[in-house]
Structure 1
Amino acid sequence: MLSANFEESSIATVAAPVRAITKSIQRIRSIDAFRGLTIFIMIFVNELAGVKGVPAWMEHMPATIDGMTFVDVVFPAFLFIVGMSIPFAIAHRRAKGDNFIQLQRHVLARTLGLLVLGVFMVNAEDGYNQAAMPLSINLWSLLFYFAAFLVWHVRLTKSNRLDWTLRLFGVIGLLALALVFRGGDGTAYLAPQWWGILGLIGWAYLIATLCFQLSGGEKLPLVLMLISCVLYYCVGHSFVMQHSVLLPVLFSQGGNAAHASIVLCGVITAQIFFQSHEENSNRWVQASVLAGSLALFAALLRPDWHISKIAATPSWCLYSAAICIALFMLLHYLVEVKQQPVGRFLCRFVEPAANSPLLTYLLPFVVYQLMQICSVSLPDFLRKGSAGIAWSACYALLIMLAAKGLNRLNLRLQL
């Protein structure tokens, strides 16, 4: 799950605020297309990161440079689609009869799941002490993904008892792997060096979900909360922090607030397009105004807070959100409004990732660990220049096909 619930955006309409979404009738194909396309590009750029001699516009912009490439918009696109899914997921839970406590427990469980996955994945990449561990980091990582599958699988058997037994074994496996992990000098245990991509999504999801509930789903309060997230970051990175001991502590979560601002942009966009009381023409006007306003404020903030993905600056967040809104508007027009052949092809192409995003996201990491264990590596020519770029695109396609095959075997993950 790369969102509140990638699987629960299959609801036809969003009626006003939290009274929002009603009954699940069909999947919203434009949301599926955006989600699946984002994951496909993510797999492509992750594989491309190991290729030498690619154009600068196909790499992340260095932290010291005021600018961004399309690669720097991939993570914001994840966050944006998280936001678009939140109103649907909450309405779905309420339609199932969840009360306030059950809903909050559901939100916290998802957040915890993302944080756990993020921390394990980060420690598998760096900070481990191989000599102090009883098994190789590659095997440790592979066992982690297997345990994660047991915990978050979607109905493997016809028996609820057996499914929950498998989940219990998965939890035990994660605990055992955490205990045998060693980092640093060999005495350190599993710890969040940083939260990882999934962990960052988890914090942003939690903040945005609370904002959505507090706002009642109304667009104006959501916009004010979006502005508050941006201001929180700005204050936390201003000169006033230099003259206080308490303020740096109170404003220490600027990065999470910045990421949450992108999620809130997704929430607002979903409310604009799928509130049943909105006229079609009014939706396009509101979305255009929102995207234009975000770009304008990004330009105004840029002199003081340069565009930087690494620093999660407001200018990067707002520019990225504006781009995501524009892209979603295009997809919505092609897929939902005009129902163009290219839109139908795109939906079919990204269907595996849209139907099982968490599984599709994790598959490349599993493949990498298997290759390391089996001492398999790619030929050098596939790690350079145009051949490397072509291979990265083919690899992303192969992962999509693998996800489709696993879906047919009823192997899916969901937080």
Structure 2
Amino acid sequence: MIFVNELASIKNVPQWMKHMPADADAMTFVDAVFPAFLFIVGMSVPFAFNARLLKGDSAKIIWSHTLKRALALIIIGVFMVNAEYGYDAAKMIIAPAFWGLLAYTMPIPIWNKYDKNFPVWLKNTLQYGGMLVLVALYFLYVQDTGEIGMTPKWWGILGLIGWAYLFTVVYYWLVCGKLWAMIAFLVVCVLANAINLTQGAPLQNLPWFNFISGHLTHAALVAAGVVISLLFFDRKVPAKINWAVIGFAILFFVTGYLLRPYYGISKIKGTPSWTMFSAAICTILFYFLYWLMEIKKITKWSNFFMPAAANPLLIYILPGVIYYFCKAFNIHIIPGYFREGVPGIIWSLVFSTIMLFVMKLCNRYKIQLHL
């Protein structure tokens, strides 16, 4: 995600390294990155629930944690989107670049995982102070229509993950994580997505259906992750060849293939073909990683990525902090030569690697975001 986000600002790179246009009926590896996030969220759900139940958490605690996590993702996502566009710079008291810098920075003190020995008064000051700053930023925001306050727009990547997580986890809890029920939920998600994109469908013009089906589009990928996770790990003796997982990978691909003539492949539109092809790709990639790491025990290569794995939300937010800091203070980190073509691609790789080492330092000094 860090690589493709940085690459998005680079000029003159091949189309296969960019998001495909909405009407292209195609997808690149870049269009599969966001679905992979959703798929991973789904794969982690059974582990997270089992861990909390084994710890003895009550239903109230689990529900509370679920709602707080979803709300946090939605809030951060909305602030990120509003920092990008939709404001009237001339009417804002604070410069948009400084507004964006604060919007990206405040989640760090609010949701940081503080050490037990960290002074309580300082922790409360940082957390509640950060919340007050976000509230102030809401009222300092002036839309390009002249209205005060932010609007959700498209919720942002984190916001979409938050909604998809919320829909899926609530359902998972209600059905006690039963495999057949999660498969049924996946089918419902795909059907709702298809109906919402079908011209003349009876439910298409209903705002509540548009809202729900829009988020079920992404919940389909979370549900697919849950299903694959249960097929891999919810059994006493793992199979040497997991035919059920292979079968679902094929089913995802075939479903995407059959729906493509009607809806096309589009990440921007969120078509069912895009979700199903993405689910197939993620399933195949995870099966390969499972074979490589669990069966063949080849794991040392993954140490390079561990700093990000231990702190994924911070490594996603931090490039935005750097971007708005440089914009606010008119700082240019790299020359224009590295903003296009092959040098730009190399810089994107270098930047991603630098961020991994930055995460290593953050982890060492206990700067870790935990929702």
TM-score class normalised by the smaller sequence: over 0.9
Question: What amino acid sits opposite 1:201 in the alignment?
Answer: I
Query: In 1, distance between residues paired with 2:268 and 2:175?
Result: 30
Unaligned runs of 5+ in 2: none
In structure 1, the partner of 2:79 is 120
Aligned residues of 1:236 and 1:252 also touching (Cα < 8 A): no
Question: What amino acid sits opposite 1:355 in the alignment?
Answer: A
Q: How many angstroms does 1:381 deviate by?
A: 1.3
In structure 1, the partner of 2:244 is 286
In structure 2, the partner of 1:369 is 324
Question: What amino acid sits opposite 2:358 in the alignment?
Answer: A
* 1:204 is the counterpart of 2:164: yes
Question: What amino acid sits opposite 1:313 in the alignment?
Answer: T
Aligned residues of 2:198 and 2:204 also touching (Cα < 8 A): no
The residue correspondences of 1:47-196 to structure 2 (distance < 5 A) are: 47-156=6-115, 157-196=117-156
The residue correspondences of 1:205-284 to structure 2 (distance < 5 A) are: 205-241=165-201, 247=206, 249-281=208-240, 284=242
Q: How many angstroms does 1:67 deviate by?
A: 0.8
Q: Which of 296, 316, 321 is the matching residue for 2:279?
A: 321
* 1:407 is the counterpart of 2:366: no
Q: How many angstroms does 1:246 deviate by?
A: 6.8
Aligned length: 369
Query: In 1, distance between residues paired with 2:229 and 2:204?
Result: 40
Query: In 2, distance between residues paired with 1:92 and 1:228?
Result: 28
Q: Residues 386 and 236 (structure 1 numbering): CA distance in 2 closer, same or farther, change over 3 Å?
A: same
Query: In 1, distance between residues paired with 2:171 and 2:259?
Result: 23
SS of match in other structure, 2:129: helix
Aligned residues of 1:232 and 1:251 also touching (Cα < 8 A): no
* 1:388 is the counterpart of 2:344: yes
In structure 1, the partner of 2:304 is 349
Aligned residues of 1:272 and 1:278 also touching (Cα < 8 A): no
Aligned residues of 1:119 and 1:199 also touching (Cα < 8 A): yes
Aligned residues of 2:66 and 2:166 also touching (Cα < 8 A): yes
Q: How many angstroms does 1:271 deviate by?
A: 1.1
Query: In 1, distance between residues paired with 2:204 and 2:178?
Result: 36
Aligned residues of 2:111 and 2:127 also touching (Cα < 8 A): yes
Which has the higher mean CA deviation after the structures are superposed, 249-258 or 200-209? Answer: 249-258
Query: In 1, distance between residues paired with 2:97 and 2:74?
Result: 21
Q: How many angstroms does 1:281 deviate by?
A: 2.4
**1:237-270 residue CA offsets vs partner (Å, 9 max, x unmatched):** 22443x5687454344322111000001111111
Query: In 2, distance between residues paired with 1:244 and 1:44?
Result: 39
Aligned residues of 2:6 and 2:348 also touching (Cα < 8 A): yes
Q: How many angstroms does 1:93 deviate by?
A: 2.1
Q: How many angstroms does 1:53 deviate by?
A: 1.4
SS of match in other structure, 1:87: helix
Query: In 1, distance between residues paired with 2:7 and 2:204?
Result: 43
Q: Residues 304 and 248 (structure 1 numbering): CA distance in 2 closer, same or farther, change over 3 Å?
A: farther
Which has the higher mean CA deviation after the structures are superposed, 58-67 or 367-376? Answer: 367-376
Q: Which TM-score applies when normalising by structure 1? A: 0.85
Which has the higher mean CA deviation after the structures are superposed, 130-139 or 313-322? Answer: 130-139
Query: In 2, distance between residues paired with 1:164 and 1:214?
Result: 35
Q: How many angstroms does 1:143 deviate by?
A: 1.9
Query: In 2, distance between residues paired with 1:248 and 1:411?
Result: 41
In structure 1, the partner of 2:314 is 359
SS of match in other structure, 2:261: coil
Q: How many angstroms does 1:101 deviate by?
A: 2.0
Unaligned runs of 5+ in 1: 1-41
Identity among equivalent pairs (%): 41
Q: Residues 311 and 245 (structure 1 numbering): CA distance in 2 closer, same or farther, change over 3 Å?
A: closer
Which has the higher mean CA deviation after the structures are superposed, 180-189 or 360-369? Answer: 180-189
Q: Residues 160 and 93 (structure 1 numbering): CA distance in 2 closer, same or farther, change over 3 Å?
A: farther
Q: Residues 248 and 192 (structure 1 numbering): CA distance in 2 closer, same or farther, change over 3 Å?
A: closer
Aligned residues of 1:114 and 1:202 also touching (Cα < 8 A): yes
SS of match in other structure, 1:281: coil
Which has the higher mean CA deviation after the structures are superposed, 181-190 or 168-177? Answer: 181-190
**Aligned alpha-carbon RMSD (Å):** 1.7
Query: In 1, distance between residues paired with 2:197 and 2:324?
Result: 39
Q: Which TM-score applies when normalising by structure 2? A: 0.95
Query: In 2, distance between residues paired with 1:44 and 1:203?
Result: 25
In structure 2, the partner of 1:398 is 354
Query: In 2, distance between residues paired with 1:397 and 1:279?
Result: 35
Q: Residues 244 and 280 (structure 1 numbering): CA distance in 2 closer, same or farther, change over 3 Å?
A: closer
